[in-house]
Amino acid sequence: MTLPKRPVLKARPAVAPSPEKITLETLRQMRSRAEPIAMLTCYDYSLARVLAGTGIHILLVGDSAAMTVLGENSTIHATMDFMLTITHAVRLGAPQSFVLADMPFASYATPDAAVANAARLLTHGQADAVKLECDAGHAPVIAAMHAAGIPTCAHLGLLPQRAAQTGGYKAQGRSAADADKIVNDAVTLWRAGADMLLLEAVPDALSSRVVAATDCPVLGCGAGQSCHGHVVVLHDLLGFTDKPPRFVEKMADVPAVIFQAVERYVNAVKNRQYPMPRHGYTMKEGQ
């Protein structure tokens, strides 16, 4: 008995990857041309290779890997060693993409610690820049990193590393006072030396104010249309998450494809249809 042939899926033509390395200057120029910046999370070599071929601009090696990859209930379980390992893996898979690495929980409590840990992500991890969750109180940290030559992205709005303090994953900046604070934080951090800003789960009206008040790429994660670029968690996009955030558009049901493939394999093994002679090796002639 032979296995039934699986249907051939014709993939859409991939966007040609950039022939040149995407740098911070590339992103600044895209901002000035009002050219949208596409960004996704990525945590491993194999997926980095796939994503790099799509023309993606930024790959965010997020501490969200603690949840999506390790199964933890919070991003704070992503350690520095873990982030170094996966950042380097993503760089190997996508040498031309801009790789932005998350600084893990408590790795930037002081300016000295921030510089030392960020330097490891840039040298050993080979990231192009680092992202840290912060507010105006982190201006000295951003300034120290800027002075050390470390490109930074200041993450404002919903801060997953502080979910235990703030009562969960909730949209931010929805009142006038809260919005004013986030805008002030953004401007303060930009003036301190932040090269990019990321706003998560905030109203578009707030994002529009930040874009108008600063002169750097502003990336949004559920932050409306005004941002220069947009990012979501890859696993949410591909259908791995049971209850993704409202701002994520599910683009595919990848778990179903994996399930079907593995189910076919299991059935083939059970029914002794795998392995077949063509899958094996023979002894050398004369042995």
Predicted local confidence at residue 13, as pLDDT: 44
Percent of the chain at pLDDT above 70? 93
Quick one: average pLDDT of 114-134? 98
Residues 272-281 have pLDDT tens digits of 999 999 999 9
Predicted local confidence at residue 150, as pLDDT: 98
Predicted local confidence at residue 3, as pLDDT: 42
Instruction: Map out the domains of the chain with their CATH numbers.
Output: 24-256 (3.20.20.60)
pLDDT at 4 exceeding the cut of 50: no
Q: Which residues are known to be catalytic?
A: 200
DSSP codes, the chain: --PPPPPPP-PPPPPPPPSS---HHHHHHHHHTT--EEEEE--SHHHHHHHHTTT-SEEEE-TTHHHHTT--SSGGG--HHHHHHHHHHHHHH-TTSEEEEEPPTTTTSSHHHHHHHHHHHHHTS--SEEEEE--GGGHHHHHHHHHTT--EEEEEES-GGGHHHHTSS-----SHHHHHHHHHHHHHHHHHT-SEEEEES--HHHHHHHHHH-SS-EEEES--TTSSEEEE-HHHHTT--SS--TTPPP---HHHHHHHHHHHHHHHHHTT-SS-GGGS--PPTT-
Predicted local confidence at residue 287, as pLDDT: 87
Predicted confidence band at 10 (pLDDT cuts at 50, 70, 90)? very low
How far is it between the farthest Cα atoms of the chain? 84
